[in-house]
Amino acid sequence: MNLVGTRMQRNQVVRTMLDHRSVRKYLRKAPSDEVVGTVVRAGQQAPFASQMYSILLSRKAARNPFRAPLLFTICVDSHKFETIMARRGWKMVTNDLTLLFFGIEDASLMAENMVVAGRSLGLGSCFLGFAMYQADKIAKQYELPKRVFPLVQLAMGYPAEDPPPRPRYPMEFTLFEDRYPELSDDMITRAMDQMDEGYLAQDYYRKNKAKIRLERGRKEAYGYGSYSWTEHICRKWGQWHPRSTELVKQLELRGFKIS
Ligand SMILES: Cc1cc2nc3c(=O)[nH]c(=O)nc-3n(C[C@H](O)[C@H](O)[C@H](O)COP(=O)(O)O)c2cc1C
C-alpha cells in the first residue's frame, strides 16, 4: 500500500501535534505551578530506556531566551542512575557513547512530550539547540554534578504570536516502505520546493532575522526574498563545527569520555 497522499485521520491529539509551531514571543503571564507540573508529568510518561534525564527549570523570565516565563534545560543524566546502581552494589560499565545515545533518546522523547502537553494547555514553546556547547557554563549555573550533560533547552510560555505551522518534507521523502529508494531528481526537487516555498510564503527568515552569514569569503547572493530553508540548512551544516573537539571537551568537562 502506498501511504503517500492517503487521507489523514484527525482527533484531538493528532490535531494538537499538527498544530505545532515554535513560538518565539511570549506573554508575561507565568503558567501556574499546576500547569508546569502537568507538562512535566506528561513529559515523564514518554517511553524510556532508563529515564536517563533530568529537567532543570528557570522561571527568571527576564533572563530567559525570548523572555519566556519558563526555560527548561533538558539534561542527559547518568549520575542519578549511578547512585541507584551504587545502592545496589553495581558499577556502571557501559561505555559513555552508548549511554549518551540512550540518554539523548530518553531526553528527547520526554522533551517532545512536554511540547505536546504544553500545546494542549495553550502554551507555546521553542527548543534552543546550543546548550550542549554551553554545557560547562550551564553546569556551574545549576550546580550540576558530574555525569549530567545539558543537551537542549526548551523555552515555554503563553504565546504572544501565532505563526502558521511550518512546512515539512513531503511524505514521499520521509517514509520508505520495505526498501530505501533511489532518490530521483524530481523527488529531491519536490522536497526542496515544498520546504523553500513554505518558509518563503511565511517570510520566516526575515521575520526571525535568522539568515546565517557566509564564512571564508563566500559571496552573499541571497536576500530575504530568496533565502529559504534549504540554503539555511546548507549554511549550517556546510560551515559549522567541522571538528568535534569543542563538543568532546564539553562532554569531558561533564565527566563523559568519548574515545
Ligand atoms: C534540537 C533543536 C534545536 C533548535 N534550536 C533552535 C534555536 O537555537 N533557535 C531557534 O530559534 N529555534 C530552534 N529550534 C526550533 C526550530 O528552528 C524549529 O523547530 C524548526 O524551524 C521547525 O519549525 P516549527 O517548530 O515551528 O515547526 C530548534 C529545534 C530543535 C528540535
Go through the domains of the chain in sequence order and give each one's CATH number.
12-162 (3.40.109.10), 171-237 (no CATH)
In angstroms, what is the span from residue 32 Cα to ligand 1's centroid?
A: 25
Strands 124-128 and 148-157, sheet pairing: antiparallel
3-state secondary structure the chain: CCCCCCCCCCCHHHHHHHCCCCCCCECCCCCCHHHHHHHHHHHHCCCCCCCCEEEEEECCHHHCHHHCCEEEEEEEECHHHHHHHHHCCCCCCCCHHHHHHHHHHHHHHHHHHHHHHHHHCCCEEEEEHHHHHHHHHHHHHHCCCCCEEEEEEEEEECECCCCCCCCCCCHHHCCCCCCCCCCCHHHHHHHHHHHHHHHHHCCHHHHCCCCCCCCCCCCCCCCCCCCCHHHHHHHHHCCCCCCCHHHHHHHHHCCCCCC
Distance (Å, whole) CA 70 – CA 78: 24
- Cα separation, 119 vs 125, whole angstroms: 8
Global confidence as pTM: 0.96
Which residue lies with its CA nearest to atom 25 of ligand 1?
Answer: 22
pLDDT at 6: 85
pLDDT in tens, the chain (259 residues): 578 778 899 999 999 999 999 999 999 999 999 999 999 999 999 999 999 999 999 999 999 999 999 999 999 999 999 999 999 999 999 999 999 999 999 999 999 999 999 999 999 999 999 999 999 999 999 999 999 999 999 999 999 999 999 999 999 999 999 999 999 999 999 999 999 999 999 999 999 999 999 998 999 999 999 999 999 999 999 999 999 999 999 999 999 999 7
pLDDT score of 187: 97
Predicted pLDDT at 259 = 76
CB-based pocket (< 6 A), ligand 1: 20-22, 24, 126-130, 152, 166
How far apart are the CA of 183 and the centre of ligand 1, in A?
26
CA of 8 to the centre of ligand 1 (A): 25
Specify the pLDDT at position 19.
96
For 108, the grid coordinates are 528527547
Cα 84 to middle of ligand 1, angstroms: 34
* Predicted local distance difference test score (pLDDT) of residue 182: 97
**Which pLDDT does position 229 carry in this prediction?**
98
Which of 128, 168, 204 to mutate for ligand 1's pocket (most ligand atoms within 8 Å of CB)? 128
Task: Locate the ligand 1 atom nearest the alpha carbon of residue 23 and give its number.
Answer: 26
